[in-house]
Amino acid sequence: AQKVTQAQTEISVVEKEDVTLDCVYETRDTTYYLFWYKQPPSGELVFLIRRNSFDEQNEISGRYSWNFQKSTSSFNFTITASQVVDSAVYFCALTTRGSQGNLIFGKGTKLSVKP
Amino acid sequence: SQTIHQWPATLVQPVGSPLSLECTVEGTSNPNLYWYRQAAGRGLQLLFYSVGIGQISSEVPQNLSASRPQDRQFILSSKKLLLSDSGFYLCAWDRDRTDTQYFGPGTRLTVL
């Protein structure tokens, strides 16, 4: 069975602090895809990144970076120099061929960035 | 570019009333379409998905149904709403079942 665990329910930081959101996944499939989505107060889920299981390269996009480690089944997300606009709920998700493409979401981490 | 629309944005309905939520996608053809519900507590639950016109797969037994009358239109319905149907309903699309899913703005449903 596939599972995504986001152990941090809520995180609160002060602007300009760095923050890391943890994501641990479980799957027996060798081919799988990992995602991060952002859900601001408006509610819409905004796609941030997709990684496949064959590509363990870390990725950086501006203040955002992602650390994918198959050895620990983790796909962590770091925001550098956080800003108030980063306040949102962040979801990690997993899909595999074995799950017929169904997207398995973690429960989300609510990030509050205070000025 | 592709755009996904949902309406209405918000809805307040009495228990026992019918429901119809609509989702349409522009800028692509033959998308896979999905309905999710997000109840208070933030988790997202896949309700239905469709890989083509008239093809609907249900992920959980419930009071709701879905239909896909046109290639880029996905409808979520109920004949009689329950209190437990309250939540935030999100529609999504992708090109392939393991591709990135893109979400619409959502419909916030309150059943009183």
Residue A81 CA to chain centroid, in angstroms?
17
Cα-based angle A31, A68, A98 (whole degrees, multiple of 5): 20
Two tokens, residue A1: 């069975």
Q: What is the pLDDT of residue A105?
A: 93
Q: How confident is the model at residue B77 (pLDDT cuts 50, 70, 90)?
A: very high
Two tokens, residue B96: 């392939």
Contacts of A8 in chain B (CB under 8 A): none
Q: How confident is the model at residue A57 (pLDDT cuts 50, 70, 90)?
A: confident
Of B47, B12, B15, nearest to B33 (Cα)?
B47
Q: What is the pLDDT of residue A100?
A: 66
Nearest Cβ partner of B43 from A43, A50, A105? A105
Interface contact B98-A107, CB threshold 8 A = no
Q: pLDDT, tens digit, for every residue of A63-89?
A: 999 999 999 999 999 999 999 999 999
b/e map A53-68, b = 16+ CB within 10 Å: beeeeeeeeeebbbbb
Going by the DSSP 8-state scheme, the letter that residue A53 receives in this structure is T
Residues 6+ apart with CB under 8 A from B94: B31, B32, B34, B100, B101, B102
pLDDT mean over B66-81: 96
Nearest Cβ partner of A33 from B32, B46, B98? B98
Q: Which residue has the tokens 């709403």?
A: B81
Does the N-terminal peptide bond of residue B8 adopt cis geometry, omega within 30 degrees of 0? yes
Contacts of A101 in chain B (CB under 8 A): 32, 96-98
- What ranges make up the beta strands (E) of chain B? 3-7, 10-13, 19-26, 32-38, 44-52, 55-58, 65-70, 73-78, 87-94, 102-103, 107-111
Two tokens, residue A108: 């989300």
